[in-house]
Amino acid sequence: MIALPEAPTIDTPQAFAALLEKLIDEPLIALDTESSSKYEYYERTCLIQLSTYTQDYVIDPLVLDAEMLHDLTLLTANSDIQIVMHAGDNDIRALKRDFGVSFSCIFDTMHSARILGYRKAGLNHLLKRHFGVKTDKRFQLADWRQRPLSGEQLHYAQMDTHYLPQLYTILKDELIQAGAWDEAQEFFTDLTLTPTKQHTPDENGFWDIRHTADFTPRQWAILRELYLWREGLAQAQNIHVQTILTDEQLRQLADTRLYSTGDLYRSQVLQTNEYKQYAKDILNAHKRGRRAKPPKRHRAKRYTPQEIEIYQHHENLYQWRKERALDRGVDSDIILSKDTLWEIARLQPQSIKDLESVLGAWRLKTYGQELLDIIADA
């Protein structure tokens, strides 16, 4: 295990207030979070890691008041403090959702690496490439709700931010040398606007379960009832759906004749503990599905000529983006996001001024005329 300096755990109001006072004058703070997403239906932030160039900190949000943690905004929304994150999209959503935290000045190391055309932009790859550090992946699926956290867990969490300040310095220089600094800044500005992350139950999510293409209408009805039962139980107990039964288990159950506990036991779809817990509920859901009216997918929509035109514009823009990305050696979304492509297709701009509401200054200057030409050519 790589030796790191001790990271104080911030778990009292007094310690949190002192930390804010200490960090308010820092020019740069790295930030990361750990959540309960693998274990709870309603995900929450379970750990917040901060690092400066000289010190790491671990904040325990499970013992601090959410209203108090909103004061992190004093750091994250301070335009004089550079907040450094790695793949920060989910962290931003979670902190906005749980504590109402807002953001002003972000630098994302993963997106920086992607803009630079790195073939591998994961944190473990960046740390190995620039610092010769090999990360421990054992705790990627750890239950961060548990207390006390082990020393190894805390070390894993600390590693997520410890090297980010130095990595920021390296990648910033590379972006400047590559002439991509302005592009990156525009990308990071968009990140600050990442919307709040909310869990929205999807009653039609059963359609997305894999390996069901040959299902009969009756099997779809059974699968729907099993899926809705699992969703309801997960919500009621606030546990992750996959910890009840996996999608594959639901698929197998919907594909099996089940009229009794004996049928269910002989199917061998369930583990012993799952059978003891859920046998009755599964048989009831199966029975409801056999009696229910089979679900129907939404019929294909009839598109208006205007909608067809928008779709054609989008296809042309999509092809342009793909070619641009290949020329640069980057992923397509580095050029423009899919949402931006649709916005431009709907807008059908006729001038650079028309694009100002959709694109930032760098992209407007770099891609604006090309986009207008594509729309005009169509």
Tell me how far CA of residue 2 lies from CA of 62, 86, 87, 134, 155, in angstroms. Answer: 27, 20, 23, 9, 9
Tokens of 59: 């904040």
205-291 and 9-192 share a CATH fold: no
Fold annotation for 205-291 = DNA polymerase; domain 1 (1.10.150)
Kindly report the pTM of this predicted structure: 0.89
What separation, in Å, do the N-terminal and C-terminal C-alpha atoms of the chain show?
Answer: 58
- Could you tell me the residue ranges of all domains in the chain? 9-192, 205-291, 305-377
Whole-angstrom Cα Rg for the chain: 25
Tokens of 184: 């990156």
Q: What is the pLDDT along the chain (378 residues), one digit of tens a residue?
A: 788 999 999 999 999 999 999 999 999 999 999 999 999 999 999 999 999 999 999 999 999 999 999 999 999 999 999 999 999 999 999 999 999 999 999 999 999 999 999 999 999 999 999 999 988 888 888 999 999 999 999 999 999 999 999 999 999 999 999 999 999 999 999 999 998 867 777 899 999 999 999 999 999 999 999 999 999 999 999 999 999 999 999 999 999 999 999 999 999 999 999 999 999 999 999 999 999 999 998 766 688 999 999 999 999 999 999 999 999 999 999 999 999 999 999 999 999 999 999 999 999 999 999 999 999 987
CA dist 283 and 252 (Å) reads 13
CA dist 61 and 11 (Å) reads 8
Q: In this structure, are residues 101 and 73 in contact, taking their beta carbons and an 8 Å threshold?
A: yes
Q: Which residue has the tokens 């160039």?
A: 53
Q: Which residues pair with 58 in a beta bridge?
A: 9, 49
According to DSSP, the β-strands at 82-85 and 106-108 are parallel
Residue 153: what are its φ and ψ, rounded to 5°? Answer: -65, -45
DSSP H helix total and E strand total for the chain = 19, 6
Per-position DSSP letters for 302-326, written without gaps between them: PPPHHHHHHHHHHHHHHHHHHHHHH
pLDDT of residue 135: 84
pLDDT of residue 201: 78
CATH of 9-192 given 3.90.550.10, 3.30.420.10, 3.40.50.150, 3.50.50.60: 3.30.420.10
CA dist 35 and 323 (Å) reads 37
Please enumerate in sequence order all residues whose Cβ is within 8 A of that of 324, keeping only pairs 6 or more positions apart, or say none.
335, 367
Please enumerate in sequence order all residues whose Cβ is within 8 A of that of 176, keeping only pairs 6 or more positions apart, or say none.
none
CATH of 305-377 given 3.50.30.60, 1.10.3720.10, 3.40.50.1220, 1.10.150.80: 1.10.150.80
Q: In this structure, are residues 349 and 370 in contact, taking their beta carbons and an 8 Å threshold?
A: no
Tokens of 66: 């959410």
Q: In this structure, are residues 106 and 191 in contact, taking their beta carbons and an 8 Å threshold?
A: yes
CA dist 238 and 103 (Å) reads 29
Exposure b/e, 252-279, CB count within 10 A at least 16 = b? bbbbbebeeeeebeebebbeeeebeebb
CA dist 148 and 12 (Å) reads 15
